[in-house]
Structure 1
Amino acid sequence: MSAVTSPSSPRSEPSSGDLFAFEGAEELAQAWRDGLLPDPALTVSEWADRHRVLSPRASAEPGRYRTDRTPYMRAIIDALSPTHPARRIVVMKSAQVGFTEGGNNWIGYVIHHAPGPMLAVQPTVELAKRFSRQRIDPLIAESPSLRERVKPARSRDAGNTVLSKEFPAGLLVITGANSAVGLRSMPARYLFLDEVDAYPPSADEEGDPVALAEARTRTFSWRSKVLLGSTPTIHGLSRIEREYEASDQRRYFVPCPHCGEMQWLKFERLRWDKGKPETAHYACEPCDGRIEEHHKTAMLEAGEWRSTVEPQDPGTIGFHISALYSPVGWLSWEAIARLWEAATTDEAKRSFKNSVLGETWVETGEAPDWQRLYERRESWQIGVVPSGGLFLTAGADVQKDRVEVDVWAWGRGLESWLVDHIVVEGGPEQAETWKELASLLNRT
């Protein structure tokens, strides 16, 4: 006798109510919905005005950051936004113009709005640690949008140390230009090279630190952003001057409050009675009108950056800004006049030219042999074979974790040019390393 089987009940499908019947479900659903929304199209300056809070630990003017306090910085930091076509931004500057906070705005923007791997380079590892503690830690601690993305160093698995800050979809590494290991620690989409004129000539005898650092951005190609900023040093030796001269050399033009003519500010137009710096004022170049300190606020707000030359590389833009533009309440024209009157030695005048005017110092007298040799240098673009090159050779230095390749062009009379320096990541035990090296050597 066969067993009687009852008809099986139809299988019930979970209802939408069942799917969200657990603790935290609504928060999860909201996070999913938020993830479908595109990021707001903010520039770096818009982000700073909306989210940045200056710490009393790191700023003489704590509180909400306002770009209109230093209007000339707006175009500089907005060029660091992903939507801006420039890939390399060069800033030759004096002290007291707000550049450091502008660079910190970019770091905050990357952490919050456009995450990716970022490398920030100070002249030495010791200065990198100081920069992290005095600038980056307050930046994160005082801005809620950043504080919620970077865990405090004391939490478990924070990924947050003095020289490394992890955040969702990104990592900030801070290092010194004297550390070759730090400069090749990771590929970087964003590269912040600060005070490049203070960098050593070579990082641990492995080459120019700027070139080593910029090599880390090649993986990201046109999506990378590089910011080079510095107070200049000696003419002919200054890295930032060389980079600025290769750019479109922008100057900040401001209107005269009397005739309205646009002009960029020059030290020789600053006038005062000898021995009376308190009489300092600016003489308009077109009309010779007397411009007082209090006029600066309106002039800066109405100013605009203008290119003065055609750049050698269209992807590089350059800005020059001096302390003559410092906003009211910072370094005044009277203070600048006092500093110049006090500069009675060559060393003091050099410091004034570098740190107040943001200009290089030209050495006088008989140039030493090394300077004569340096002045014979020629400018060549990386990856381009000079017209005198007849054939190419390549040499490979095999290390335990990489292969470094130099490509040389050779011309008549054994004249030679270094055309490219390429780093192939991977050790000699990896087949992919040799495959990539072979592909590189077969290029024409």
Structure 2
Amino acid sequence: MKKATVDLFSRIFSVLAPPPDMTISEWADEYRRLSSESSAEPGRWKTSKAPYQREIMDAICDMKIQKVVVMSAAQIGKTDALVLNPIGYYMHYDPSPIMVLQPTIQMAETFSKDRLSPMLRDTPVLRDKVNDKSRTSGNTILQKIFPGGHVTMVGANSASSLASRPIRILLADEIDRYPATAGNEGDPLLLAGKRLTTFWNKKEVCVSTPTIKGLSRIEVEFEHSTQEEWNVPCPECGEYTPIEWANIIFDKTNLDEIRCVCPHCGVISGETEWKEQFKKGRFVAQFPERKVRGFHLNALASLFVEWREIVEKFITANDEKKKGNIELLKVWTNTEMGQTWEEEGEQIETDDLYKRREKYNCEVPEEVLVLTAGVDTQDDRFEAEVVGWGVDKESWGIKYQVIYGDLKLPQVWEELDAFLSQTFTTADGRKLKIICTCVDSGGHFTNQVYRFCKARTARRVFAIKGKGGATVPYYNKPSTANSVKTPLFTIGVDTGKAILYQRLAVLEEGANYCHFPKEKDRGYTQNYFKGLTAEKMVMSYKKGKAQYVWTLKDGGFKRNEPLDIRNYATVALEIVNPVLKKPDKTDVVTAPTKKRGRRSRMNGGI
């Protein structure tokens, strides 16, 4: 009996005992096994083969650090060292709920099948942690349950997968490839970060190859970190220095010898001499006092890649640039140097949109199935746009109208009502009315907008209120908590702008493509397109988080009403949510209705 009691308490204490004093790199060297599916050299993991990985891995398990950021080239072993090794460490020694955030659900499934499952199979200490054979285990491709925790793999493009999952460890991979918004719910990285709030010992790891300057999440995260660069001692003078492209010397006609100059002593040494010093390398921080550890690496620091390969890619990309093709140089900058690419000529988008206008030769093209409208309220005018929508949310600008007048007088409101009450005729003879209108209630005429919309609720003329922020949903259920009890929708304008700009970037006619008319009397002037593209989306750092922020372009057009109004007309389509499909001979378009689960038939209008 006494022996049984001792055994019982021994098992209890073994479970409750704190994890051993072992870092992630030490765990990997001791226990991790590389799989043949994912490694050219399967077998025991050796951090010495990529010495720069040690300091980064050990920062992740440092109790004093909550967040680690890695902006790097594409060939430094990020996934193995910074995603899989932490998973194995926490599963084995410090069980916790873990989330792996990939750019898409499909990529999350691929990660689970091709990377995680082989590691669990081939690493002996992890092999029995997850029971994939039992149907009652709760394990799926996207969730692996183990004693004391789970690994959940989600896609940044799925709002539902990011919700209501308390986690302690967030491993966010390739964050620059995340969409601007998860569905209509807002920034996916911010949504995932909210799942960490219940844990005092939470960990967040953000890893990515950077993309475009001003839009790169990882660049902004790195800029607000310790900003640590990999330094190695010079083979000649011993001074620590980063291996930078500016110091690489080569002869384009003879790549047999590629060398690097030391900025301290000026001595030029070969690749082999420099790489022999890598085992002595260390990260040097520009801002060591900051709480977030941030690391930057380029491909020159990798022992897996020869410098000749990097130089050859640069020569090819530079030659293509001379021919007018900058794409290869952009890729080389991102994937080899681990740096953002700075785009040139922000105004090109405006000019291209203006040039692609087309003659409709009819009031409304026959592909249009429904019409919506957006209205912006100013002190001395209304600005309104009618937009046509077809299959797969292909859109056509129909009419952009400015209605001037004193908004204190009823006449200008009557003109607006007349504009919104019009009947439009398609090229094939169908009569369409506007099925939903969103009217901005901001400004000095809020109550007047409420009364105007209240009287026209049956025509789905709704008051809206814009709200900024990456996490604000595109729209919520309407509230009637206002002076006239009219339905009021709160609109996530930043989410809407992100969706709109993605559609404006579509170049081939079809799903999500935006058409604009060339006829002069429709209002689609150069100023319209300047206003439509007046803002740009940049990454900013607020309250400890990187997030998208919309701002007017520097030195650009200062009137952004066309952008706001197209945003309102777009959310009007989402609110009414019609079923858009090619019309049959009865020319009927259906839209959801709450009555008895049936569909109302609207004949393209109300």
Task: Give CA-to-partner distance per residue, 1:82-135, whole Å, 9 cap, x none.
Answer: x43111111000011111111210010111111111110100000000000111
Structure 1 counterpart of 2:305 = 331
| CA gap 1:296/1:130 in 2 versus in 1, 3 angstroms | farther
Aligned 8 A contact 2:298 2:337 in 1: yes
C-alpha distance in 2 between matches for 1:374 and 1:276 = 44
* Cα root mean square deviation, aligned: 2.3
Mapped pair 1:198 → 2:177: yes
Give the 3-state SS of the residue equivalent to 2:40 in structure 1: coil
Give the 3-state SS of the residue equivalent to 2:144 in structure 1: strand
C-alpha distance in 2 between matches for 1:179 and 1:337 = 39
Mapped pair 1:360 → 2:336: no
Q: What TM-score results when the alignment is normalised by the length of structure 2?
A: 0.56
Mapped pair 1:373 → 2:549: no
Decide which of 213, 223, 230 is 2:201's aligned counterpart. Answer: 223
Task: Give CA-to-partner distance per residue, 1:193-231, whole Å, 9 cap, x none.
Answer: 0000000000011000010000110111x4100000000
Mapped pair 1:317 → 2:479: no
| Shift in Å, 1:33 | 6.1
Give the 3-state SS of the residue equivalent to 1:92 in structure 2: strand
Structure 2 counterpart of 1:147 = 127
C-alpha distance in 2 between matches for 1:243 and 1:382 = 9
Mapped pair 1:267 → 2:245: yes
Structure 2 counterpart of 1:69 = 49
Which of 1 and 2 has higher RCO (CA within 8 Å, sep 6+)? 1
Aligned 8 A contact 1:189 1:217 in 2: yes
Q: What TM-score results when the alignment is normalised by the length of structure 1?
A: 0.75
Decide which of 80, 103, 110 is 2:90's aligned counterpart. Answer: 110
| Shift in Å, 1:29 | 7.2
| CA gap 1:170/1:255 in 2 versus in 1, 3 angstroms | same
C-alpha distance in 2 between matches for 1:56 and 1:377 = 39
Give the 3-state SS of the residue equivalent to 1:79 in structure 2: helix
Give the 3-state SS of the residue equivalent to 1:285 in structure 2: coil
C-alpha distance in 2 between matches for 1:234 and 1:372 = 19
Decide which of 162, 181, 184 is 2:141's aligned counterpart. Answer: 162
| Shift in Å, 1:290 | 2.5
| CA gap 1:185/1:57 in 2 versus in 1, 3 angstroms | farther
| Shift in Å, 1:299 | 1.8
Structure 2 counterpart of 1:129 = 109
Aligned 8 A contact 1:87 1:226 in 2: yes
Aligned 8 A contact 2:216 2:539 in 1: no
| Shift in Å, 1:269 | 1.0
| CA gap 1:40/1:310 in 2 versus in 1, 3 angstroms | closer
| Shift in Å, 1:363 | 1.3
C-alpha distance in 2 between matches for 1:326 and 1:194 = 20
Where in structure 2 are the equivalents of 1:53-68 lying within 5 Å? 53-68=33-48
Decide which of 223, 234, 239 is 2:217's aligned counterpart. Answer: 239
| Shift in Å, 1:301 | 1.2
Give the 3-state SS of the residue equivalent to 1:223 in structure 2: coil
C-alpha distance in 2 between matches for 1:134 and 1:256 = 39
| Shift in Å, 1:291 | 2.4
| Shift in Å, 1:288 | 2.6
Q: Which amino acid aligns with 1:325?
A: A
| CA gap 1:290/1:382 in 2 versus in 1, 3 angstroms | closer
| CA gap 1:92/1:381 in 2 versus in 1, 3 angstroms | same
Structure 1 counterpart of 2:69 = 90
Structure 2 counterpart of 1:308 = 286
Aligned 8 A contact 1:277 1:335 in 2: no
| CA gap 1:212/1:260 in 2 versus in 1, 3 angstroms | same
| CA gap 1:200/1:366 in 2 versus in 1, 3 angstroms | closer
C-alpha distance in 2 between matches for 1:376 and 1:165 = 36
Aligned 8 A contact 1:78 1:84 in 2: no
Structure 1 counterpart of 2:230 = 252
C-alpha distance in 1 between matches for 2:16 and 2:195 = 31
C-alpha distance in 1 between matches for 2:11 and 2:35 = 30
C-alpha distance in 1 between matches for 2:232 and 2:544 = 36
Aligned 8 A contact 2:63 2:201 in 1: no
Structure 2 counterpart of 1:414 = none
Give the 3-state SS of the residue equivalent to 2:310 in structure 1: helix
Structure 1 counterpart of 2:315 = 341
| CA gap 1:309/1:159 in 2 versus in 1, 3 angstroms | same
C-alpha distance in 2 between matches for 1:376 and 1:119 = 27
| Shift in Å, 1:180 | 0.7
Of 189-198 and 358-367, the range deviating more from structure 2:
358-367
Structure 1: give runs of 5+ residues left out of the alignment.
1-14, 384-444
Structure 1 counterpart of 2:514 = none
| CA gap 1:118/1:239 in 2 versus in 1, 3 angstroms | same
Task: Give CA-to-partner distance per residue, 1:275-331, whole Å, 9 cap, x none.
Answer: 3223212122122323222234432211111111367xx33121100101011xx21
Q: Which amino acid aligns with 1:262?
A: Y
Aligned 8 A contact 1:128 1:163 in 2: yes
Percent identity of paired positions between Structure 1 and Structure 2: 38
Q: Which amino acid aligns with 1:173?
A: T
